[in-house]
Chain A
Amino acid sequence: MSALPNNVLVVDDETAIRRFLRAALEESGFAVLEAFNGRMALELAATKKPGVILLDLGLPDMDGLEVLKRLREWTSAPIIVVSVRSDESDKIEALDRGADDYLTKPFGVEELLARIRVALRHAESAREDAPPVYKHGDLKIDLTSRRVWLGKKEVRLSPLQYSLLAALVRNAGRVVSQKQLLKELWPDTESNPEALRILVHQTRHRIEREPVRPRHLKTEPAVGYRLEAPDD
């Protein structure tokens, strides 16, 4: 972790939220920068070059999505968008505009730290090669030999089911939007969300012990899917 940039820019207009984020992040060894509006966020991002940006979409002076757009014009630092639950379309829009992930309010500290770790690791692995084997609990996916195991048993998947897993492994721990997956799995055809849902459903019945309570392949309601971050 020491090699990673460890300052986090927190953008939120609520003092109580900033206070709790500062406590949680400093406790875990991050330095915290705080901005309480969009203008300040843009300024601090440019001058202090934070390693991660936590961006609340509801800001007093400007639209959070606009802040995101302006940030993405020049920085590739991971941006994790924070929003309330009912704004599914905002989340999708934010992912389309280059956000790395999102957190839904209210969220727990564990969830917050996990998202930051994944975002940092992902930013890191963009420079290096990702490890070829994904392991999470009893699920193992070997990207070099294209083989999948559940416990000791090898799982047989259709090529499309495998492609789905491979796409999710490359983004392990991060949400992958429905749109991204459709583009990746069916690049030449009209996008069909229903086919994707059926594919995920079938894949779950191969790689999950209890498909209705998936341990590995999670649904992000109305947004997309997430394969849990690999075990350390």
Chain B
Amino acid sequence: MRPLFKEYGIAMAAAAICTAACFGISPFVALTDLAMVYLVGTTVVALRGGWGPSVFSSILGVLCFNFFFVPPRFTFDVEHPQYVVTFLVMFAVAMVISRLTVRVRTQSEEARRLEVSAESERLRSSLLSAVSHELRTPLTAIIGSVGSLLRAPGPGSTHWRELLENIREEAERLTRLVHNLIETTRLESGRVRLKKEPYPIEDVVGMALERLDKSLAGREVRNDLPESLPLAPMDPVLMELVFVNLIDNAVRHASGPFPIEISAREAGGKLEAVVADRGPGLRAEPVDRVFEKFYRETRSAGGAGLGLAICKAVVEAHGGTIRAENRPGGGALFRLTLPC
């Protein structure tokens, strides 16, 4: 109801402005030309509002024109019957303009709606392709490994252990993916209530490292988390997920002998945590695109493009911020802040 009132308000304002303009130019132009000014006002109203406000504006225009300018002025009386024709034509033209303008507007809205649905269609299909690729890869590996195991000569063969490790690792990858999918859906449905309690960030980083123990497999993790850091209010389960995704990201994209670096400090009443690697860095342009859902740096490194999107959603739900940077000297760096 309220936006409609606003439209009628605009119609009244337009009539007032047109009247003021007519007072300004009336000494210089023919009386009937003033009707054109009111038509401009009606067009503007029709561009913004719907059919109702346009009709209202047309009537208002005719009444103002009559009252303020048609002799005898400042009455609704009309001296010459010719002006009645002017009124009728003025009203008719205003109606036609309104009708056309409103139609153009609805059509462009319709077009925009189609565009939005095309956009969400595109999102859906990219979700499907990312997810089905991500789901199929580990499933193929698992099924293939099991098949090979069943044909292999026995526990003594060299391939036996490799295949079993394959199965476990791929199943763990599936588990992480499913978890990310579930969390994305939960976060987007808006039904997640954060269970925020003051936690030491070290505890949460520690849980994430523990969870990733196998995929870290001997990778050096260099951490700098001072004992005296203040606690920050956080949902430990969701913040653990943030660090799992950031660290997992570093492990997958930055192979090689360089350590993964995790640090935290207090800065200006906020807790700032950094996860950095010495991998190839981020190719996204601008770099913050990495937080977009389904965005993937490379196909080969895996990931459905959900991990960093979740990080952003969780950190922002905590009232914090997260940024991506390319490091001087190479590598990616993720910096998040939490109020504490």
Contacts and interface: CB of A to CB of B under 8 A. Distances in A.
Interface of A: 85-86, 88, 106, 108, 193-194, 197-198, 200-202, 204-205, 210-214, 218-219, 221-222
A213 B206 contact: yes
A86 B195 CA distance: 13
Interface stretch (B62-70, B223-231, B292-300, B302-310): B223-231
A61 B4 CA distance: 55
B142 to A, nearest CB: 13
Contacts of A106: 171-172, 175
Given A194-B197, A197-B200, A218-B210, A88 B231 contact: no
Contacts of B202: 201, 204, 211-212
Contacts of B223: 210, 212-213
A197 B171 CA distance: 33
Contacts of B210: 213, 218
A221 B179 CA distance: 15
A229 to B, nearest CB: 16
A106 B168 CA distance: 11
Contacts of B7: none
A212 B236 contact: no
Given A106-B171, A211-B227, A212-B209, A219 B237 contact: no
Contacts of B287: none
A67 to B, nearest CB: 26
Contact of A85 (B172, B179, B198, B209): B179
12 contacts: A88-B237, A106-B171, A108-B168, A197-B203, A197-B231, A198-B200, A202-B227, A211-B227, A212-B225, A214-B206, A219-B207, A221-B237
A197 B206 contact: no
A212 B206 contact: yes
B13 interface: no
Contact of B209 (A86, A108, A213): A213
A207 B209 CA distance: 18
B182 interface: yes
Nearest to B209: A213
Contact of A197 (B179, B195, B198, B221): B198
B246 to A, nearest CB: 14
A132 B80 CA distance: 116
Given A106-B171, A201-B200, A212-B223, A194 B207 contact: no
Interface string B203-215: 1011101100000
Interface string B170-213: 01100100010010000000000001011110110111011000
B109 to A, nearest CB: 41
Q: Per DSSP, are chain B's interface residues mostly helix, strand or loop, or mixed?
A: helix
A175 to B, nearest CB: 14
A199 to B, nearest CB: 11
Contact of A194 (B225, B227, B231, B236): B231
A198 B198 CA distance: 10
Nearest to A205: B227
Contacts of B172: 106
Contact of B240 (A193, A214, A221): A221
A85 B178 CA distance: 12
Contact of A221 (B198, B200, B236, B262): B236
A219 B179 contact: no
Nearest to B239: A221
B206 A194 contact: no
Contacts of A210: 223
A90 to B, nearest CB: 13
B203 A201 contact: yes
Nearest to A208: B206
Given A88-B237, A201-B202, A218-B210, A193 B175 contact: no
A213 B175 contact: no
B207 A221 contact: yes
Contacts of B200: 197-198, 201
| Interface pairs A-B: 5 shortest CB-CB | A201-B200, A194-B198, A212-B206, A205-B227, A212-B223
Contacts of B197: 193-194
Given A193-B197, A213-B221, A219 B203 contact: yes
Given A197-B231, A212-B223, A219 B182 contact: no
Nearest to A225: B203
Nearest to A85: B179
A86 B223 CA distance: 28
B172 to A, nearest CB: 8
A93 B199 CA distance: 22
A137 B199 CA distance: 27
A38 to B, nearest CB: 26
A214 B225 CA distance: 14
B141 to A, nearest CB: 16
* Residue in A204, A205, A212 with the greatest tally of chain B CB atoms within 10 Å: A212
A222 B198 contact: no
Contacts of A108: 168
Contacts of A222: 195, 236-237
